[in-house]
């Protein structure tokens, strides 16, 4: 798993306390924590030098000095999250620690379950700061009126490609509430789904939201579909809009897989997306169906500039050209994704991204080109297909 890095400094004299705290930090799921020890004398310098995200201060050894240190840490590094630990639960010490700048107080070394929520908040705050105070993520989706048109293959691989190109935060949301296959395509099981998020939508916070997501080994987060077919009936278009709004504030890219039905839920996603990829092949039934979809979206007031037509797995023996498709649908064929059924089938059966099966596949190249266009990046690969370097254009910071 591509874990998120956190730097922690544990401050105190008792080596057993420091070791216990270090073990909890390094056991946090989804995080790679670099832990350093410090005493009261060099704590400020170490927190500053290491650009620490969190500082843990054991107050029992020297309560007055420890509280004074909390204040100095906040002055030296205002963004550091300070965690004070003391067996003394008197009101006097609690008030003094809080006034000195303690963000959390505990009577003993916290458990993984107790430490995980504040660490998630730290990571979320850092992510927001990196994106800028007014920055929100982009919603990207794809739609085809025919099931089996390759939408899930396209979007799961677009999500992993964007993260691979940019190291940006990416969340893949499966809104095919009855037939969602992202857990199959990415080979995972997870106890939570979008249903759990919707049931807590009124009191949703970053900690709970992060806890419902699956952390995939590719580096992306995934919000799976409900486990039972009937569960999707209790999820409304407004629920989905609220969930996507929360995710836009937490991630740079929100990739949304939808069903092949243009219902209220799917339309709400299309309407809110910054980019909508419409997938079709070059057979008459598919092109006619796409023509009806585009006409419907135009009548409903969708911004046509957000729509991009993708010719996916064109049939070689079909006489319908990209010019013909453009003429019928009244939308230019922006991209063509070649057929590579061998790679696609093996990737789906094994539950891994396409590039892990064949990084030189023309289908991988096609999806990578779309990822480059979306993010303004270029990449090169070595002879084994591994990422050799990243070159960022001036289009994105």
> pLDDT of 229-274, one tens digit each?
788 888 888 989 999 998 998 899 999 999 989 998 999 999 999 9
Which range has the top average pLDDT, 27-41, 358-372, 382-396? 358-372
Flag whether pLDDT at 381 surpasses 60. Answer: no
List own/partner pairs for 345-354 with CB under 8 A and 24 or more apart. Answer: 347/153, 347/185, 348/153, 348/184, 348/185, 350/187, 351/184, 351/185, 351/186, 351/187, 351/188, 352/186, 352/187, 353/156, 353/157, 353/160, 353/161, 353/186, 353/218, 354/153, 354/157
Q: What is the mean pLDDT of the chain?
A: 87
Least confident among 47-51, 233-237, 319-323, 350-354: 233-237
What would the mean pLDDT of 27-51 be, rounded to a whole number? Answer: 90
Q: Is the pLDDT of residue 385 over 60?
A: no
Q: What are 82's strand-pairing partners?
A: 55
Q: Using one digit for the tens of pLDDT, what is the confidence trace for 108-154?
A: 888 888 888 788 877 776 665 555 544 678 999 999 998 878 999 99
Mean pLDDT for the stretch of residues 350-369: 95
Q: What domains can you pick out in the chain, each with its CATH number?
A: 4-131 (3.40.50.2300), 138-392 (3.40.50.300)
Of 311 and 128, the structure prediction assigns the larger pLDDT to 311
Q: How confident is the model at residue 332 (pLDDT cuts 50, 70, 90)?
A: very high
- Determine the pLDDT at residue 295: 96
State the pLDDT confidence band at 394, using cuts at 50, 70 and 90: very low
- CB neighbours of 275 closer than 8 A, spacing ≥ 6? 138, 139, 140, 141, 306, 308, 374
- 177 or 161, which is more confident? 161
Q: What is the pLDDT of residue 104?
A: 86
Residue of higher predicted confidence among 384 and 88: 88
- Alpha-carbon distance 170 to 183, whole Å? 16
Q: What is the mean pLDDT of residues 310-324?
A: 92
Share of the chain above pLDDT 70, in %: 91
d(CA 123, CA 28): 13
pLDDT class for 351, splitting at 50, 70, 90?
very high
pLDDT value at residue 378 = 64
Q: Tell me what percent of the residues of the chain surpass a pLDDT of 90.
A: 53
pLDDT at residue 395 is higher than 90: no
Which residues are within 8 A (CB) of 18 and not within 5 positions of it... i.e. 6 or more apart? 10, 12, 37
Q: Do 67 and 74 contact (CB within 8 A), yes or no? A: no
Query: Residue with structure tokens 């670099």?
Result: 34
pLDDT band at residue 10 using 50, 70 and 90 as cut-offs: very high
86 and 42 in contact (C-beta within 8 Å)?
A: no
Of all helices (H) and strands (E), which one includes residue 55? strand 54-58
What are 192-208's pLDDT values in tens digits? 899 989 888 877 777 77
Lowest model confidence (mean pLDDT) among 144-148, 291-295, 298-302:
144-148
- For residue 15, the SS3 value is helix
65-104 pLDDT, tens per residue? 999 999 999 889 988 889 899 988 888 888 888 888 888 8
């Amino acid at each position: 798993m591509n874990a998120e890095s956190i730097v922690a400094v544990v401050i105190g004299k008792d080596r057993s306390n420091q070791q216990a705290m270090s073990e909890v930090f390094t056991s946090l799921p989804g995080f790679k924590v670099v832990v350093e020890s410090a005493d009261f004398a060099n704590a400020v310098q170490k927190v500053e030098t290491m650009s620490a995200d969190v500082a843990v201060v054991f107050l029992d050894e020297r309560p007055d000095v420890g509280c004074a240190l909390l204040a100095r840490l906040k002055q030296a590094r205002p963004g550091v999250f300070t965690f004070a630990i003391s067996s003394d639960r008197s009101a006097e010490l609690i008030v003094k620690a809080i006034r000195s700048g303690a963000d959390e107080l505990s009577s003993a070394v916290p458990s993984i379950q107790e430490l995980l929520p504040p660490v998630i908040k730290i990571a979320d705050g850092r992510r927001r700061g990196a994106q800028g105070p007014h920055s929100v993520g982009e919603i990207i989706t794809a739609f085809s009126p025919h099931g089996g048109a390759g939408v899930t293959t396209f979007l799961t691989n677009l999500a992993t490609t964007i993260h691979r190109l940019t190291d940006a935060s990416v969340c893949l949301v499966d809104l095919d509430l009855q037939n969602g296959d992202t857990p199959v395509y990415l080979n995972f099981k997870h106890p939570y789904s979008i249903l759990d998020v919707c049931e807590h939508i009124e009191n949703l916070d970053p900690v709970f939201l992060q806890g419902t997501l699956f952390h995939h080994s590719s580096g992306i987060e995934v919000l799976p579909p409900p486990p039972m077919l009937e569960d999707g009936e209790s999820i409304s278009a407004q629920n989905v809009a609220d969930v996507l709004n929360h995710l836009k504030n937490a991630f740079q890219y929100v990739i949304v897989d939808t069903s092949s039905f243009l219902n209220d839920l799917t339309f709400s996603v299309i309407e809110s997306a910054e980019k909508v990829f419409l997938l079709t092949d070059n057979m008459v039934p598919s092109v006619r169906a796409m023509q009806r979809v585009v006409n419907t979206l135009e009548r409903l007031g969708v911004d046509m500039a957000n729509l991009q037509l993708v010719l996916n797995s064109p049939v070689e023996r079909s006489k319908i050209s990209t010019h013909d498709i453009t003429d019928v649908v009244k939308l230019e064929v922006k991209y063509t994704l070649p057929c590579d059924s061998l790679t696609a089938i093996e990737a789906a059966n094994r539950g891994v991204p396409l590039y892990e099966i064949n990084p030189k596949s023309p289908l991988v190249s096609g999806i990578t080109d779309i990822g480059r266009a979306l993010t303004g990046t270029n990449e090169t690969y070595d002879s084994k297909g591994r990422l050799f370097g990243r070159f960022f254009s001036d289009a994105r910071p």
